[in-house]
Chain A
Amino acid sequence: MSPPPRASQPSDLPRRRPPTVGRPGPRRRHPAARARWAAAVVSGVAFSGLVAVMATNPVAGAAAITASHTSSSNATSTNSTQSTSSVSATPSSSSSSSAVTSSHAS
């Protein structure tokens, strides 16, 4: 018997799919096809993606960033070109069997 839905689950949440038995349904992509699809999506849009969108964005484009350097120049000693190490988390060389907590949408 499947458990009742959680009381806190909004009604507009996507429904959980039933377990897949046998062949996957028509909407499921084969893992290799998914990888190819994802790579194609990225390779197709990478150049027109995040960087280009940001660079041409009239809201957050170069002019705005230049302005920030002027008017909030005292704001911080760091800038937009932070080193990689400063934003990267440190992975653990060993692993725990159970999660301490979870990151979820809120």
Chain B
Amino acid sequence: MPADAFPVMGSDARVYLVGGPPQLLARARTRIEELERLWSRFLPASEVSQLNGSAGGNPRRVSPETFELIQRGIQAWRMTRGLFDPTILGDVLRAGYTATFDKLRTGACRSGDSSLTRGMGDIELDTHSRTVRLPRGVGFDPGGIGKGLAADLVVEELLAAGAEGACVNLGGDVRAAGTPPEESWAVAIEHPSRPAPAAVAQLRDGAVATSSRLHRRWETSRGSAHHLIDPRRGAPSDTKLWTATAIAAKGWQAEAFAKAAFLAGSSGLTVLEQLGVAVLLIDDDGDVLTNRLVSQFIDRPAERSALTEVTA
């Protein structure tokens, strides 16, 4: 199966193709890099940086992709009742995530001052003029939803360009659709402390995303911090989980639901099940908890027996 791997968006990208002209792989890479240039908050010229810089000013016309990014962010915020909130940028900066993670890891940036506040409910969008206006003092952090949406866009564009099947994995945010390479699109859900995956999800069409507090950690003067900010606390979540994985229709949904599930803890399993989202949690004992929807994606009995299904 033709595949490509490259670093982008502060993560590793993987693109897999079934059928279609082979040059589609190069096209996918170019497209993902283009989306990074539009959305990265670490690039001053990106549309998101420009949007954040104009917060409180006049509405700003943006590209269709960036308009959709903001739309999806609002949808995700509503669907999760605010647990997923891309306007936590001020909290992210105050927690110390002020530079690309490579720089944070080397200790190059430790400053964490910001006067930004949250304000998802006051973002103004106009579909006719394709303009966005952020409230004064509000910053938008594309974070994970940008990766999930990018995976969605690229997979859909690859299929439209002639691929029979496509899968894009952006830093663990996986979207797959169309004809799979074998019987299904099999996506392993990694277990942080075991060599074997916690489960392998067998998809025909869908997305898998994982949120974790074990990676993207850094040291501050107040101790270690991680990037999963709880909007209720305005600080990194203190939930007793290692990871939360969501299986949903689209990449942006899986990303938002994975983050909400992580922040909600085990109480989120049944709530997300009612929405139709399969969720797998790994707690800090390494135990794997799922809602009932996960089993429909797990084919192997041995994997199923390792899961603890949680019912209301």
Task: State the A residues within 8 Å of B (CB).
Answer: 10, 12-17, 27, 29, 31, 34-35, 38-39, 41-43, 45-46, 48-51, 53-55, 57, 59-61, 64-68, 71-72, 74-76, 78-80, 82, 84-106
Tell me if A50 and B264 are in contact (CB < 8 A).
Answer: yes
Distance to closest chain B CB from A93 (angstroms)? 7
How many chain-B residues does the 8 Å CB contact rule pick out? 110
Distance to closest chain A CB from B141 (angstroms)? 15
Tell me if B78 and A90 are in contact (CB < 8 A).
Answer: no
28 sample A-B contacts, Cβ–Cβ < 8 Å, listed by A number: A12-B214, A12-B217, A14-B214, A29-B287, A42-B267, A50-B260, A54-B83, A57-B232, A59-B118, A65-B121, A72-B121, A75-B123, A79-B78, A80-B75, A84-B275, A85-B249, A87-B276, A89-B247, A89-B249, A92-B204, A98-B182, A99-B188, A101-B169, A101-B188, A103-B190, A103-B201, A103-B208, A104-B172
The majority secondary structure among interface residues of chain A is loop
Tell me if A92 and B203 are in contact (CB < 8 A).
Answer: yes
Asked if B104 CB lies within 8 Å of chain A CBs, one says no
Distance to closest chain A CB from B312 (angstroms)? 6
Which residues 226-242 of B sit at the A interface, judged by CB distance below 8 A? 231-232, 242
In the bound complex, residues from chain B placing their C-beta under 8 Å from that of A87 are: 79, 248-250, 253, 257, 275-277
Interface 1/0s, chain B 272-302, versus A by CB < 8 A? 1001111000001111010001001101100
Tell me if A72 and B287 are in contact (CB < 8 A).
Answer: no
Tell me if A100 and B181 are in contact (CB < 8 A).
Answer: yes
Tell me if B206 and A95 are in contact (CB < 8 A).
Answer: no
Answer whether A85 and B276 are a contact pair too, CB < 8 Å, given A59-B118, A93-B204, A99-B197: yes
Choose among A10, A60, A61, A98 the residue with the greatest number of B CB atoms under 10 Å from its CB: A60
- For A44, give the chain B residue with the smallest CB separation: B267
Distance to closest chain A CB from B226 (angstroms)? 10
Tell me if A14 and B296 are in contact (CB < 8 A).
Answer: no
Interface 1/0s, chain B 178-194, versus A by CB < 8 A? 00111111111110111
Kindly identify which residue among B12, B123, B184, B249 contacts A92, using a CB–CB cutoff of 8 Å. Answer: B184
Choose among A41, A42, A79 the residue with the greatest number of B CB atoms under 10 Å from its CB: A42
In the bound complex, residues from chain B placing their C-beta under 8 Å from that of A106 are: 11-12, 171-172, 210, 212, 215-216
In the bound complex, residues from chain B placing their C-beta under 8 Å from that of A89 are: 203, 205-208, 247-249, 254, 278, 297
